[in-house]
Structure 1
Amino acid sequence: MMNPQGSVDYLARDGRAYVTLNRPEKRNAMSQHMWEQLMHAYDRAEDDDDVRVVVLSGAGDDFCAGHDLAEVGNQYGNGGTDENGHKRRPSQRARRQYDKTYSKARELLLLAEVWSAQEARENGLVNKVVPLGELHERGEEWAERIVRLPRDGIALGKAATNMAMQTLGVTSQFAYGPVLHTLATNMRWEPGEFNFMKERSVSGVRASTHQREAFYQTPRKQDS
């Protein structure tokens, strides 16, 4: 029976760990269940001394649509009820605990643009863009080049890179990112602003997503 929350499949062979996001009916949108499985898959690969490279892919025609928007705003759990029996929103503590695993690209946050694969490459979010028919072959070429390297050399090289990023302060985002995301998801919306949470409850995820894209792509009248 298909898991409605999706799954992350794991297969280790030939020095590779093949990790597959398996929720093609939702374009492999990541549910919290899948995030947890993905972290577990990375742990398995790290603990396997024969694995030298991880190949991450998506089942079906899409790699990953990102976070499952149906869970946004609902992922923090139930805040319980107050003394009058009314539902409470989840506490900031619960929200921050959940948000510890996320951080975002600043330009995408401010401009709400939808980038093509080529634009993502030009802005440094992906290393290379190849035709779909060549994707598996090119991925295997990269994996083969990595698995031929000395295992300890790969591990030490990654560790040295991480230490350099820590020295430069690059990884500090993982400390303050959860706090800022928690606050951002609890902000007030003013008249004339697009509230995805509200629209989703009225129109559903698919319709509200299209409405959001149209809202930011349509020129807005300046307030007088």
Structure 2
Amino acid sequence: MAIDLERVVTYPTNSDDWLKTVLIGGALTLFSFLIVPAFLVYGYVLRVLRDGIEGQENPPVFDDWGTLLKEGVVAFVIVFVYQLIPLLVFLLTVGGSLAAIASGSEVGAGVGIAGLLGGLALSTLLALAFGYVTLIGLTNYAHVGTLGAAFDLDVIGSVATDRTYAIPWLYGVGVLLAAAVVASVLGIVPFVGAIAGVFVTFYGQVAAAWVWGTGFGDAIEDGDDADADVDPAVA
């Protein structure tokens, strides 16, 4: 599947109001520690995912704040549920290892260090795996509009194993990593650079969400086409 990387990276600018949108999104991200702004960013990302599914070329604007907040809260709940298992594994393995290290014995310290490294590795792998699935669940929620859609195992399994989605997902991850690198470089400049990096991060999230949405849309369209090709007499 060929993807126009320039089209992905410049997607957030495909609007006359793009600068205003990025400024609002960056400001909300900056104040996300107040919780409500974080929910609003979640809601906006869902809109981008939805537009990607529908093939929209222009980024959405910040409006209808009530709906934005409501969907953002639901998105947060979805992410929390999916990441609960990696979080519990982290707490159990790392917590137990730290307790063993704190016991003071050489054996306890050795077992604790080994458990700590293993727990960190396992919880990281689980977080990555569940993160991949979480994104599909979020996107299906954006597509269908019901909480149950975020946990539709048939859709999630189908999309997760479809290269039509996997390749755009990798592109989105690459865009996020590039934005993180730029933000880190900007962070060298005290205060101003760090703030600018937040806006770059939001820009990268928008571009990544859009390509993820388009990949999801293509994957479910392929699934629908495959179902249509099945002979009804055979089915």
Which band: TM-score by shorter chain? under 0.3
Point out the structure with the larger strand share: 1
Structure with bigger RCO (C-alpha 8 Å, 6+ apart): 2
TM-score under structure 1 normalisation?
Answer: 0.25
TM-score under structure 2 normalisation?
Answer: 0.24
